[in-house]
Chains A and B, each alone.
Chain A
Amino acid sequence: MTTWEGLLFGIGFVTQPEVLVYCFLGVVLGTFVGVLPGIGAMAAISLLLPITYYVTPEAALIMLAGVYYGAQYGGAVSSILLRLPGTPQSAVTTLDGYPMAQNGRAGVALFTAMVSSFTGSVIGIVVLVLLAGWLSRAATAFGAADYAAMMILGLVAASTIGTARPAKGFAMVTLGLLLGCVGTDVNSGAQRFTFGQTELLDGINLVALAMGMFGVAEVIANVRNPARQGVMEKIGLKRLMPRRDDLRRMALPTLRGGALGSFFGALPGTGSTLSSFLSYSMERRIARQPERFGTGAVEGVAGPEAANNSAAITAFAPTLTLGIPGDPIMALMLGALVIHGIQPGPMMLEARPEMFWGLVASFGIGNLLLLVLNLPLIGIWVAMLRIPFNYLYPAILVFLCLGVYSVRGLTFDIVAVAGIGLAGYLLALARFSPALLLLGFVLGPLIETNLRRAFLISRGDPMVFLERPIAAGFVIATVALLLLPLWQAWRRRARASD
């Protein structure tokens, strides 16, 4: 089947009324679980799994995939309005989205997020269709050394975003790295900082950490600060539609974010979180006025939102072409296929082309549905801010606890979120950025595991980081990134002495 035949076939498949209904159900559900803090695609798909036994495998996969990428849209909503990332990927969106909302531009921020998400998805779909084979080869070409080098670059590039004081940024990244050490060390099997708690053996729950650092901390801050409560009632009503200036500013970051995300999405294990952080840091680096970032720059919403959505699409490349799931949610979706007697694997594309092309076509339809669904909802989301805080915040806390509990079903995590929330509030008082803590927490264990694995496989030879072309490229880029400020400073001094 050629690409065009496949696409036409897929579109024909998805436009069957029954399949369309499942696609619609998936994206609507995805939007809502994305909006609700803490309840992510993982929990929603787990709950939906038993239902999928009763529908065709194609429809089941299309619905579950809809939840997955739909949640990326929804995640932006609570990040922008409440500084409460609905999903860990959208934590970056709080950096400029929330200030925009506070400046009375919540509607514009939401519009930007939706349009960028859509554009990012379209870029992801195009890349997936044209380069699926190449992307999946890239996934197997990446070894431990390459991952380690790539993520170190990500950490270095992004570790100063979201804060005016680099030292504070580094402090939070480091704290995140340390928190990431908690749990069973993959390489040695040692149990680190678990204090005999089995619940900590797999590390601190990412959702609990994100919800505590952002959600609970934000609720405490607002309850304690009557002035902020006042702002809450006023913001967002000024304008809903973006100005021409906003549109001009968001165009290029969206395209760049989409391209960035479609590459990182295809690599198993790193996916959308890394790509949204990288997109943000890239936009800030190339911006003419980087100081605008953090105070409500449209680019800071557009880039990351496009990146995490395109990553969510291309993440299906290794999953569908190799049968290798890139993240636990993908593994869950493949599990749904197994229940239907379909063995995911490299043969799936040949054996069941309708699965691949039907899904790809459903991405297009689904994202269109999401755009159509979400643009009119902007007004409603913004109106949500007019709910008196004494109703809104308790409701947020309830949803947050539900969300955290839904991940593993352990009361331990709810207690953890309360403790983390308190710590998060204290950090917020001192103006530390929780987004960077999250970055360190997500990347830390990945870097450590891959770095040590790379040394293990190379039998201790550090040259592996220079001999492998991919790793070498990332190492050179990292060094360049670190030397750049020094070189700039040296040039300034040289000019001054002229």
Chain B
Amino acid sequence: MTAGARAPAIWKVAIAGNIVSVETGEVEEIPVKIQMTRRAVLACTAAFTAVPAFGQDTWPTEPLRVFVGFPAGSSPDTLARIVTDQLAQRLGQPVVIENRPGAGGVIGVQQMLVSAGDGHTFGTTINGPLTTAQRMMDSTGYDVETDIAPVTLIATSPLVLAVSADSDIADLDAFIAAAAADEEAIAYGSVGQGSGAHLTAELFATEAGVSMLHVPFTSYAEVTTSILGGEIDAGFMAPSAALPFVQAGTMRMLGITSAAPFAQAPDVPVLAGNAGLPDDFRAELWNAFIAPAGTDPDVIARLNTEITDIVADAAVQEQLLAIGWQGAPGTPEDLRERIVTDTAMWGDVIDRVQAQQ
């Protein structure tokens, strides 16, 4: 990492990192670490990304910390716990989940970077903080390209287009016809401005050539209540949020945004290629394991191997499916590529949305 125009910000982060270490009672370890990294510090002007060269045989020497930008009990948190439970066994060191909820997951990534530097600090995050947050927020305080080292994609989740079971709209064609009848004839709910649900709906609207009224909420629970109460017409929802209501007969799913049918709801048609939508229509949320830039490449390689192994396990895949995630491990390069393509794709959608406002 080079110290360019962003150097002052980096220093601030480095200082904050020390404060955090003092709080966790690791006061004595700090001078030691500084000594160990002196050569690295000299080599690299930005001190906080410099990490001692842990060999594969020695790492991990202490418990791992994994930052999650969502509260305990949330879907991204549960996913992180499923993976790190296995990871701890494989690495022979405890893995501590640090929940730092807020700002759509951005705070979790920030806090990971603040605490970085010991070679044992990592994070899991959904796609937002790595792809759209830079566009939606004044400043995230980090640069995805230079501050984040991808480890692997863990899992993806499509979104389903859901309506109330009482709705007149029976299928996707009827939905598009209803939406095309008038400007903003259909009101749909999302979990916030710039959320995956919002951007997916706008992408859908553009591709289908319709315009819908966006009603932002803050959680799928609120969106569900509003759909069931007949206040809004539809919502792009996480399958795990919609499925219980579909099973109870109070909601209907019209389509799914993944390329192939979703294992949890195989009879729901994919949107791609249907009702006039292009064949490559695909919109997925994802969850990834990341490290601070500067983490030893050997460590990243080791983590990638372990996590890909864990996610390939059938039992783990089943656990992930139960909370709506489909295991999708890959290489660090795959993840980097996914970040770049999704940033570009959603960037276009955000441009259109902002132009309309």
Contact = CB atoms under 8 A, between A and B. Distances in A.
A339 B78 contact: yes
Interface residues of B, number: 58
Contacts, number: 144
Contacts of A453: 215-217
Contacts of A187: 193, 216
Contacts of B101: 408
Contact of B216 (A45, A189, A339): A189
A203 to B, nearest CB: 10
Interface of A: 45-46, 49-50, 139-144, 184, 186-189, 191, 194, 196, 198-199, 201-202, 268-269, 322-325, 328, 331-336, 338-339, 341, 343-348, 408-411, 453, 456-457, 459
Contact of B184 (A324, A325, A348, A459): A459
Contacts of B72: 45-46, 49, 332, 335
B222 A202 contact: no
A267 to B, nearest CB: 10
Contact of A198 (B102, B194, B224): B102
Nearest to B220: A324
A201 B99 CA distance: 17
B45 interface: no
B208 interface: no
A476 B8 CA distance: 57
Contacts of A348: 244
Contacts of A142: 229
Interface string B293-308: 0000000000000000
B51 interface: no
B225 A140 contact: yes
A269 B225 CA distance: 12
Given A328-B71, A338-B78, A346 B138 contact: no
A213 B305 CA distance: 50
Contacts of B107: 198-199, 201, 408, 410
Contact of A346 (B221, B245, B322, B323): B245
B127 to A, nearest CB: 17
A176 B162 CA distance: 37
A140 B228 contact: yes
A261 B102 CA distance: 30
Contact of B323 (A50, A324, A332, A338): A338
B244 A198 contact: no
B110 A198 contact: yes
6 contacts: A198-B137, A333-B73, A339-B78, A344-B244, A346-B248, A459-B184
Among A139, A186, A345, the one with the most B-chain Cβ atoms within 10 Å of its Cβ is A345
Contacts of A331: 73-74, 219, 221
A198 B141 contact: yes
A375 B101 CA distance: 37
Interface string B203-232: 000000000010111110110111011011
B257 interface: no
A333 B74 CA distance: 10
A324 B242 CA distance: 11
Nearest to B219: A331
A408 B73 contact: no
Nearest to A319: B221
Given A338-B78, A338-B322, A457 B231 contact: yes
Given A198-B137, A410-B107, A143 B229 contact: yes
A373 B19 CA distance: 41
A236 B334 CA distance: 67
A139 B229 CA distance: 9
Among A184, A198, A348, the one with the most B-chain Cβ atoms within 10 Å of its Cβ is A198
Contacts of B226: 143-144
B21 interface: no
B137 A191 contact: yes
A14 B179 CA distance: 51
Please name the 4 residue pairs, one residue from A and one from B, whose CB atoms are nearest each other, closest first.
A345-B244, A335-B73, A189-B193, A346-B248
A268 B244 contact: no
Contacts of A409: 98-100, 111
B140 A198 contact: yes
Nearest to B16: A411
B221 A46 contact: no
Contacts of A189: 136, 192-194, 216
Contact of B222 (A46, A268, A343): A268
B316 interface: no
Contact of B102 (A46, A143, A188, A408): A408
A446 to B, nearest CB: 11
Contact of B99 (A46, A202, A268): A46
B88 interface: no
Given A338-B323, A457-B215, A188 B99 contact: no
A268 B222 CA distance: 8
